[in-house]
Chains A and B, each alone.
Chain A
Amino acid sequence: MSDNNNSFVRHEMLSERAPPIGERGVFKWARENLFSSIFNTIMTIASVWVIYSITVGVAPWFFNGVWNAETTRECYEILDGVNGACFAVLQERFPQLIYGFKYPSTEYWRPNLATILLLVALAPVLFRSLPKGLLVFSVIYPFLAYWLIWGGTILIPTVAFVGCCIGVACYRKFSSGAFVTAILLGLFSAYLCWFLGGYLISWNDAFLSLKEVPSRDMGGFMLNLLLGTIAVSLSIPLGITLALGRQSNMPIIKWICVVFIEFIRGVPLITLLFVANVILAFFFPPETSIDLILRVIIMMTFFNSAYIAEVVRGGLAALPSGQYEAANSLGLDYSQSMRFIILPQALKISIPGIVNVSVGMLKDTTLVSIISMFDLVGMIRGPILSSTDWNGVYWELFGAAAAIFFVVCFTVSKYSQWLERQLETGKH
């Protein structure tokens, strides 16, 4: 070897240079993601072509859309042969799509206010960084929302609320003793309160009264949101209870839970809704009439909670048995170890599943249109499309319904992803 080759001294330091143009920013991204092989290049070009054709096809229809017209015919006259949508129906029938066709238009502020307050009530539940004091409002909210949406005297929800409070207080006071006694005493005191409250209401049923709106007058997206929110928020605690019951050592509790879950999961929701609508009435004495919405909510809650129970059971099964043992060995009793150790971890694992099931539930509320309730889809299929004014505007109406549901469901799923990241406590 030559003697010079191995020795080298640098006299000038090299300055920093930018990477070649193909290795930075958008070029690098495009090369790696769109044109990394011949097949991918073909797919990219094909996809661009598909997106282009759809856009070219839909854009004129969308942008030529008519927003102000009274009927389909007027729409076509304005369009005058041009390809265009008839969005005027959304404008003209907006209140019907949102509130249904019977909800008194002077009272629209009530569901609006209830929806805004719903967000306020949900905030402390969904975001744990908010002060815990706000939860008081979340507890009051269901009673307030009932009064706002259904109307009537404020005494009804007040008595219901006071009864619940007294029941819980009574349970708390006796919970150090026998569990069953405490539950029974709680239920009894709550019932006593409701019973006495009944006299108070019949004595003064105009006190702070809002115009009463019967359940059959509810409709539109309000009905979807109402059913979805109530069914989901009731079915999460019920589902957790069922999942824990299914793991119980006590055979009776275990079998009740197993049979309930397996039965409900084996039956289509639409069947349960028909049961709620028609058959359930046969089981009650003729003079009692249980509200149709209430019956539907019960069925939807049962349906959703059976699914949530299975999701939570998966989460419970995924926990190592060491967690149960550690909790036991520290002397925590069953409810403490569930509350502080097992459920927080099991539910964290179950979040994607619970959200999946619940978003499904929210969309399934549209099935009530089949048992002649006028929810968003029911309104479109029924009163709007069958009216002579708006014959044949399918795309605009169902597109709008899809958009509304998409916004709500997408928000929920984004929230759940955020929550999962929040609960991450660091692995190795």
Chain B
Amino acid sequence: MTDKLKLEVSDEIAIKIESMNKWFGSFHVLRDIDLTVNRGERIVVCGPSGSGKSTLIRCINALEEHQNGQIIVDGTELTSDIKNIDKIRSEVGMCFQHFNLFPHLSILENCTLAPIWVRKIPKREAEETAMHFLEKVKIPEQANKYPGQLSGGQQQRVAIARSLCMRPRIMLFDEPTSALDPEMIKEVLDTMIELAEDGMTMICVTHEMGFARQVANRVIFMDDGQIVEQNEPEQFFNNPQSDRTKLFLSQILGH
């Protein structure tokens, strides 16, 4: 692994979550979550499955609705008001575990659809932007193919490019490498590292601990719907405080 990225974090607050709770039916998935993310921060969220980490980042762009507490993204509070939700969604990009590209549209159309219809950008300009970002993720030559014709790693890079075409100020990653073959993980992580170097605010649910050490400025460990521990990566990995964190780290780093 290369050296740790040294990046500046501004004082401006990008996301502020205050005593947020969420239930699925009677199941209490997220309990009193407090989290403040400054602009330019790269946060890695980890934890055992079912700990609520995906649900947490899905709440940030309202794919899941939270029941109480506050989520403020870029100064806009998430309420059930559809206008606020649409505004936040266009500011926040998201990448999924299973890419979720649109299989009936070409790669280029995947990237231009939302800019044209949501941002109302002229088609030609949207296509130029799309090609710019496809070059950035190093697959401009695939622009006219369909998602089904690409490998998993390529599809995930397209998904990242598709989000970037909306010029988001925050990117959320929901286990972006969990569905990939080992040799494809690197190409996706490289793309994400580049993104971090450009100063993007990122929240990333992942189990790639190498990535966390290299890129993250903060690691959050979740269990049972609550934030158990958060710290700088060095401290987090070398000197975990809670027993639950120690157990988790010994299990994923133990072999």
Q: Which residues of A contact B96 (CB under 8 A)?
A: 322, 325-326
A326–B90 Cα distance when bound, in Å, is 12
A204–B199 Cα distance when bound, in Å, is 73
What 0/1 readout, one digit per residue, does chain A (318-344) give for beta carbons within 8 Å of chain B? 001011011111111100100011001
A365–B109 Cα distance when bound, in Å, is 42
A114–B102 Cα distance when bound, in Å, is 40
Q: Which residues of A contact B82 (CB under 8 A)?
A: 333
Instruction: Evaluate contact between A329 and B94: CB separation under 8 angstroms.
Output: yes
6 residue pairs A–B, Cβ–Cβ below 8 Å = A326-B101, A328-B61, A329-B61, A330-B89, A330-B166, A340-B117
Q: Which residue in A323, A328, A340, A423 is a CB contact (below 8 Å) of B63?
A: A328
Q: Does chain A have a CB within 8 A of B113?
A: yes
What 0/1 readout, one digit per residue, does chain B (150-174) give for beta carbons within 8 Å of chain A? 0000000000001100100000000
A332–B89 Cα distance when bound, in Å, is 9
Given contacts A322-B98, A329-B89, contact A344 B118 (CB under 8 A): no
Q: Which residues of A contact B102 (CB under 8 A)?
A: 323, 326-327, 340-341, 345
Instruction: Evaluate contact between A331 and B118: CB separation under 8 angstroms.
Output: yes
Q: Does chain B have a CB within 8 A of A17?
A: no
A168–B145 Cα distance when bound, in Å, is 37
Q: Which residue in A331, A340, A426 is a CB contact (below 8 Å) of B86?
A: A331
Q: Which residues of B contact A423 (CB under 8 A)?
A: 104
Report the minimal beta-carbon distance from B56 to chain A, rounded to whole angstroms.
Answer: 15
Q: Does chain B have a CB within 8 A of A11?
A: no
Q: Does chain B have a CB within 8 A of A428?
A: yes
Report the minimal beta-carbon distance from A285 to chain B, rounded to whole angstroms.
Answer: 43
Q: Does chain B have a CB within 8 A of A425?
A: yes
Report the minimal beta-carbon distance from A350 to chain B, rounded to whole angstroms.
Answer: 13
We find that the number of chain A residues with CB closer than 8 angstroms to chain B is 23
A426–B107 Cα distance when bound, in Å, is 13
Q: Which residue in A331, A348, A428 is a CB contact (below 8 Å) of B148?
A: A428
Residue in A322, A330, A341 with the greatest tally of chain B CB atoms within 10 Å: A330
Q: Does chain B have a CB within 8 A of A427?
A: yes
We find that the number of chain B residues with CB closer than 8 angstroms to chain A is 29
Report the minimal beta-carbon distance from B162 to chain A, rounded to whole angstroms.
Answer: 7
Report the minimal beta-carbon distance from B236 to chain A, rounded to whole angstroms.
Answer: 28
Q: Does chain A have a CB within 8 A of B103?
A: yes
Report the minimal beta-carbon distance from A307 to chain B, rounded to whole angstroms.
Answer: 24
Q: Which residues of A contact B93 (CB under 8 A)?
A: 329
Report the minimal beta-carbon distance from A381 to chain B, rounded to whole angstroms.
Answer: 47
A268–B159 Cα distance when bound, in Å, is 48
Q: Which residue in B62, B113, B148 is a CB contact (below 8 Å) of A425?
A: B148
What 0/1 readout, one digit per residue, does chain B (46-68) give for beta carbons within 8 Å of chain A? 00000000000000011100000
Instruction: Evaluate contact between B63 and A425: CB separation under 8 angstroms.
Output: no
Q: Does chain A have a CB within 8 A of B114?
A: yes
Q: Does chain A have a CB within 8 A of B146?
A: yes
Instruction: Evaluate contact between A426 and B118: CB separation under 8 angstroms.
Output: no
Report the minimal beta-carbon distance from A329 to chain B, rounded to whole angstroms.
Answer: 4
Q: Does chain A have a CB within 8 A of B241?
A: no
Given contacts A326-B102, A345-B103, contact A333 B113 (CB under 8 A): no
A333–B120 Cα distance when bound, in Å, is 13
Q: Which residue in B61, B100, B118 is a CB contact (below 8 Å) of A322?
A: B100
Q: Does chain A have a CB within 8 A of B149?
A: yes
B115 — nearest CB in chain A belongs to which residue?
Answer: A330
Q: Which residues of B contact A333 (CB under 8 A)?
A: 82, 86
Report the minimal beta-carbon distance from A349 to chain B, rounded to whole angstroms.
Answer: 11
A342 — nearest CB in chain B belongs to which residue?
Answer: B102
Q: Which of B68-115 contact A (CB under 8 A)?
A: 82, 86, 89-90, 92-94, 96, 98, 100-105, 113-114
Q: Which residue in B89, B104, B163 is a CB contact (below 8 Å) of A328?
A: B89
A345–B101 Cα distance when bound, in Å, is 12
Q: Which residues of A contact B145 (CB under 8 A)?
A: 426
Instruction: Evaluate contact between B104 and A344: CB separation under 8 angstroms.
Output: yes
B88 — nearest CB in chain A belongs to which residue?
Answer: A331
Q: Which of B180-225 contact A (CB under 8 A)?
A: none
A427–B155 Cα distance when bound, in Å, is 13
Q: Which residues of B contact A348 (CB under 8 A)?
A: 104
Q: Which residues of A contact B105 (CB under 8 A)?
A: 340
A317–B163 Cα distance when bound, in Å, is 26
9 additional A-B residue pairs with CB within 8 Å, beyond A330-B118, A336-B118, A426-B145: A322-B100, A323-B100, A327-B102, A328-B62, A328-B63, A329-B63, A329-B93, A330-B90, A332-B117
A345–B61 Cα distance when bound, in Å, is 24
A423–B166 Cα distance when bound, in Å, is 27
Q: Which residue in A331, A345, A428 is a CB contact (below 8 Å) of B104?
A: A345
Q: Which of B17-53 contact A (CB under 8 A)?
A: none
Q: Which residues of B contact A328 (CB under 8 A)?
A: 61-63, 89
Instruction: Evaluate contact between A340 and B113: CB separation under 8 angstroms.
Output: yes
A423–B101 Cα distance when bound, in Å, is 17
Instruction: Evaluate contact between B104 and A326: CB separation under 8 angstroms.
Output: no
A111–B172 Cα distance when bound, in Å, is 60
Q: Which residues of B contact A426 (CB under 8 A)?
A: 145-146, 148-149
A339 — nearest CB in chain B belongs to which residue?
Answer: B117
Report the minimal beta-carbon distance from B95 to chain A, rounded to whole angstroms.
Answer: 9
A333–B62 Cα distance when bound, in Å, is 13
Q: Which residues of A contact B62 (CB under 8 A)?
A: 328
Report the minimal beta-carbon distance from B174 to chain A, rounded to whole angstroms.
Answer: 10
What 0/1 readout, one digit per residue, does chain B (4-26) give for beta carbons within 8 Å of chain A? 00000000000000000000000
Q: Which residues of B contact A345 (CB under 8 A)?
A: 102-104
A42–B186 Cα distance when bound, in Å, is 61
Report the minimal beta-carbon distance from B181 to chain A, rounded to whole angstroms.
Answer: 13
A341 — nearest CB in chain B belongs to which residue?
Answer: B102
Given contacts A329-B94, A330-B89, A425-B148, contact A336 B117 (CB under 8 A): yes
Q: Which residues of B contact A326 (CB under 8 A)?
A: 94, 96, 100-102
Q: Which residue in B63, B103, B148 is a CB contact (below 8 Å) of A325?
A: B63
